[in-house]
Amino acid sequence: MTMHAHAPDSAPTFRAIPDRLTSPARNFLGSWEALLLLVAIAIFGANSLASPYFLDINNLSDATFNFTEKAIVALAMAFVVIAGEIDLSVGGIIAIASTAMGAAAQAGAGTAELVVVGLAVGAVCGLFNGLLVARIGLPSIVATIGTMSFYRGISYVVLGDKVYSAYPTDFAFFGQGYTWGVISFEFTSFVLLAILAGILLHRTTFGRAVRAIGNNPFAARFSGLRVERIRFIVFLMTGLAAGLASVMLTSRLGSTRPSIALGWELDIVTIVVLGGINIQGGAGTIPGVVIAALVMGLVTSGLGLLNVPGIIMSIVIGAMLICVIALPILLRRLLHKWRSA
């Protein structure tokens, strides 16, 4: 019986380990954000071919008004969803904040006071939502459906068939003004807030805590994280964002009706989920939300130029929401079947 052995001086085999597993560029190219960017480019090209007016610089500037207010709320909503919660009351917050600003304007308040009122009412509503979810322990979907009806109901009670329209002239700047050339104040605010939200989510301990809570709130609590406090904060952020959106929307329309921002909850949640935020919490990026907002803006702008009725736009947005939620589930099932075959 012959025994074979390796020579003691034989050189061992080494495998080179790269300093980085993948480059940032390769990570991006394989990401949901890259796919969304391709979709945005495709929609931009289709709109350019479908309407000769689409590429007009003034039209492109005006198109930003279709999504910036919703996108600002979506930035804050991203934190709520990543934390494993949901806030369906944002449309109602916008309505009650606008009603409060209208009442203040009727009483003679100036522009600065109106902005403070809008932000303060949004913050109070966000704090109330946070109290219901973080302190009392109500499921966020139940709590915010209730407050959605509660906030808008107050607007209907206060206004009835009336319309508030006696706003100061300079109040129009927040929804109609421009900071530089054709760049609107709303779009500038959205870009700055997106940068701030990106830093907060991806570069701070608060952002890591939000992700940890969304992944496993029990483990996060045992790790020493103040879960209830962080939940409270993210609902406050959403309330403030809705208050800011109310200032901009009311300024742009120049009037307040109780039906203002009706149905915006669907659009905002669609932006968040389309942006790659996991509806079950724990994952997602701010760049994804930004690109998704651009996609939504391009879709609504293109359909508007083609004189597509609003109900058809609602159908398109609803279909986008269903597809975005269903697509990852279907892909996982197909991948599991392929691996099992």
pLDDT tens digits for 37-80?
998 899 899 889 888 888 888 888 888 988 999 999 999 999 99
- Reference 283, options 223, 182, 207; nearest CA is 207
**Helices 68-82 and 185-202, interaxial angle, to 10°?**
10
- Per the CB < 8 A criterion, the answer to whether 256 and 159 are in contact is yes
pLDDT tens digits for 260-314?
999 899 889 989 999 989 988 889 999 999 999 999 898 888 888 888 787 887 8
pLDDT tens digits for 153-204?
999 999 988 999 989 999 999 999 999 988 999 999 999 999 999 999 999 9
| pLDDT bracket for residue 144 (50, 70, 90) | very high
At position 47, the amino acid (one-letter code) is N
Burial of 116 (C-beta count, 10 Å sphere; 0-12/13-18/19+)? middle
The single residue listed with the structure tokens 């530089």 is 180
Hey, what domains does the chain have and what are their CATH numbers? 48-340 (1.10.3470)
Task: Collect all residues with Cβ–Cβ distance below 8 Å to 189 and sequence separation of at least 6.
Answer: 68, 72, 244, 248
pTM for the model stands at 0.87
Residue 277 phi, psi dihedral angles, 5° rounding:
-70, 125
| pLDDT bracket for residue 27 (50, 70, 90) | low
Q: What average pLDDT does the structure give for the chain?
A: 88
